[in-house]
Amino acid sequence: MNDWPLYEIFIRSKNGLNHKHVGSLHAADAHMAIQNARDVYTRRNEGISIWVVEAKNITASNPDESEALFDPAEDKIYRHPTFYKLPDALKHM
Amino acid sequence: MDSTYSMEERFQLRIDKEEKIEARDWMPDAYRKTLIRQVSQHAHSEIVGMLPESNWITRAPSIKRKLALLAKVQDEGGHGLYLYSATETLGINRDELIEQLHTGKAKYSSIFNYPTLSWADIGAIGWLVDGAAIMNQVALCRTSYGPYARAMVRICKEESFHQRQGYDILLTMCKGSEAQKEMVQDAVNRWWWPSLMMFGPNDDASPNSAQSLKWKIKRLSNDELRQRFVDATVPQAEILGISLPDPLLKYNEKRGQYDFGPIDWDEFFQVVAGNGPCNKERLAARVKAHEEGAWVREASVAYAEKQKNRLLSDVAVA
Ligand SMILES: [Fe+2]
Ligand SMILES: [Fe+2]
């Protein structure tokens, strides 16, 4: 099984929704990964579309850099609608 | 975060705040090792757990029962896969895990070393063994390691059908002839105590439990889970109209829970040590399936290789 690459599996549960990561599995190639993903991850109508991506092709952000990457968003409260006070007379916006 | 904290302390702070730990996050070596042991043991149990039940697939009493049992056993194979995948995120590969199972280095749940003697055993397994597993797995949906927790959520969604199909088998048999009811009682007599052992040694005899609870790998102690299982199961036995093989089993008004008799831990440790009724048979069946499936794995690689070359030559022609 060492020869079988690891695939990450993404399933769209129904049209209108994103493909979502559900797990991973080993397969000889992408085609087999889709077949196995069907058997393993969609036995109860969980999906209508499958993406498989070989795990080695995914580039991920480094968790050690999380603070540098994501903290700057924290103090930008003016990006949220709740930052702006509206007059009481205004019913909807 | 404050740099005066050590890595371990920072890790524990994250755990205390109910943050999930993900695969590439820093974690103490012992946390990683404990998880690899626990999650792979769990994966092995799902896979070996298919064996006692597969014994009855071809002998199920009706097509409906056969379909349900097939679906359940297939689910268990899927559970094994979710858990092997979760284990692999901790930096160990599948071949090593399989190797550990086949050489006896890794354990699986001892319950699967008992034989399935009659059709009622299939009912008793679904009701009691899956029931006990669910009790444990529902708690593990909140485990601190993200990939393990997600596998558990997926597994729990699938498990409740397992317990119901087992209970349904017993309900039907209990409404049948005297002989059928006796089969149910006999199966329950044999599966009750091993099911209680599934939760592991008593808390005072479980040295690693405290650390696992602190790291929130485990969310409830062995004894807490066992008590919950007994409390949930006794009323279900009453509805079946059968007895549970424990003369000390009694509702304790003061505690609002059932008291039950002492567990025969000698038997438990004997089975763990490899001396249960079916240990050798189970492992041999596992190894045989793996070895006899070798040609399929090899053929799949050869076929994938051929397809890749064909694609390449198509490109060259174009
Ligand atoms: Fe399972
Ligand atoms: Fe199950």
B199 falls in which pLDDT band (50, 70, 90)? very high
Tell me the DSSP string of A21-74: EEEEEE-SSHHHHHHHHHHHH-TTS--SEEEEEEGGG-----GGGHHHHHGGGT
- B303-312: which pairs have CB atoms within 8 A and are 24 or more residues apart? B303/A28, B304/A28, B304/A29, B304/A31, B304/A32, B307/A29, B307/A31, B308/A29
Contact A52, A30 (CB under 8 A): yes
pLDDT at B2 over 60: no
The domains located in chain A, with CATH, are: 1-59 (3.10.20.520)
| Distance between Cα A76 and ligand 2 center (Å) | 48
Amino acid at B209: S
Chain B residues closer than 8 Å to A26 by CB: 94
φ and ψ at B257, to 5 degrees? -140, 170
A1 falls in which pLDDT band (50, 70, 90)? low
Burial letters for A31-41: b for 16+ Cβ neighbours within 10 Å, e otherwise? ebbeebbeebb
Interface mutation vs chain A, best among B90, B95, B296, most A CBs within 10 Å:
B95
**Residues comprising chain B, all counted:** 318
pLDDT at B200 over 70: yes
Quote the mean pLDDT of chain B: 95
Query: Would you state the pLDDT for residue B318?
Result: 62
A2/B contact by beta carbon, under 8 A: yes
Task: Give the range among A73-77, B22-26, B101-105, B262-266 with minimum mean pLDDT.
Answer: A73-77
User: Distance from CA of residue B33 to its chain's centroid?
Assistant: 19
Query: Would you state the pLDDT for residue A91?
Result: 87
- At which residue do the structure tokens 């479980």 appear? B206
B36 falls in which pLDDT band (50, 70, 90)? very high
CA distance B85 to chain A (A): 6
Cα(B71)–Cα(B180) distance, integer angstroms: 24
Chain A residues closer than 8 Å to B151 by CB: 23
| Distance between Cα B310 and ligand 1 center (Å) | 40
Percentage of chain B beyond pLDDT 70 is: 98
Q: What is the mean pLDDT of residues A42-65?
A: 94
pLDDT tens figures, B142-195 = 999 999 999 999 999 999 899 999 999 999 999 999 999 999 999 999 999 999
Q: State the count of interchain CB pairs (< 8 A) between A and B.
A: 52
Which of B50, B198, B48, B71 is closest to B128 using CA atoms?
Answer: B198
Contact B118, B144 (CB under 8 A): no
B3 falls in which pLDDT band (50, 70, 90)? low
**Residues linked to residue A53 through DSSP beta bridges, in sequence order:** A8
Cα(B38)–Cα(B106) distance, integer angstroms: 10
Task: List, as ranges, residues 80-99 from B with C-beta within 8 Å of A.
Answer: 81-82, 85, 88, 93-95, 98
pTM of the entire predicted model = 0.92
**Residues comprising chain A, all counted:** 93
pLDDT tens figures, B219-254 = 999 999 999 999 999 999 999 999 999 999 999 999
CB contact under 8 A, B158 and A6: no
pLDDT at A53 over 70: yes
Query: Would you state the pLDDT for residue A93?
Result: 85
Q: In what order do the strands lie in the sheet with A49-54?
A: A19-26, A6-12, A49-54
Chain B residues closer than 8 Å to A22 by CB: 154
Task: List, as ranges, residues 104-133 from B with C-beta within 8 Å of A.
Answer: none
- Which sign does the torsion angle of CA B164, B167, B172, B173 carry? positive
Cα(B174)–Cα(B188) distance, integer angstroms: 12
pLDDT tens figures, B265-278 = 999 999 999 999 99
Query: Would you state the pLDDT for residue A92?
Result: 87
- At which residue do the structure tokens 């008793």 appear? B124
B290/A contact by beta carbon, under 8 A: no
pLDDT at A2 over 70: no
Task: Give the range among A59-68, A71-80, B263-272 with minimum mean pLDDT.
Answer: A71-80
CB contact under 8 A, A1 and B95: yes
Chain B residues closer than 8 Å to A25 by CB: 81, 85
In sequence order, what are the residues at sequence separation of 6 or more whose Cβ sits closer than 8 angstroms to the Cβ of residue B266? none
Contact B233, B196 (CB under 8 A): no
Which of B64, B167, B46, B173 is closest to B118 using CA atoms?
Answer: B173
CA distance B286 to chain A (A): 16
Whether the complex's predicted ipTM is more than 0.90 is answered with no
Query: Would you state the pLDDT for residue A67?
Result: 86
CA distance B81 to chain A (A): 7
Task: Give the range among A25-39, A46-60, B96-110, B297-311 with minimum mean pLDDT.
Answer: B297-311
Which of B199, B194, B202, B198 is closest to B244 using CA atoms?
Answer: B194
Cα(A84)–Cα(A65) distance, integer angstroms: 31
Percentage of chain B beyond pLDDT 90 is: 93
CB contact under 8 A, B98 and A32: no
pLDDT tens figures, A8-51 = 999 999 999 999 999 999 999 999 999 999 999 999 999 999 99
